Amino acid sequence: TVTQAENIATVKGVKAGTVKIIGMTTDGNFTAIADITVQA
């Protein structure tokens, strides 16, 4: 699940694995990509 408060997004993993999280500004001018690994 993803929750947002002001400019902070919190991502909760529900099982072990890998994911690519993409963040983007509302105007689309800036993006960020993070590779995340969740371990049990």
pLDDT tens series, the chain, 40 aa: 889 898 888 888 889 999 999 999 889 999 999 999 988 8
Number of domains in the chain: 1
Amino acid making up residue 23 = G
Please give the pLDDT value at position 9: 86
User: pTM of whole model > 0.85?
Assistant: no
Domain with 22 in it: 2-38
pLDDT for the residue numbered 16: 92
Sign of CA dihedral 13, 19, 27, 29: positive
- B/e letters for 10-35, b = 16+ CB within 10 Å, e = fewer, are eeeeeeeeeeeeeeeeeeeeeeeeee
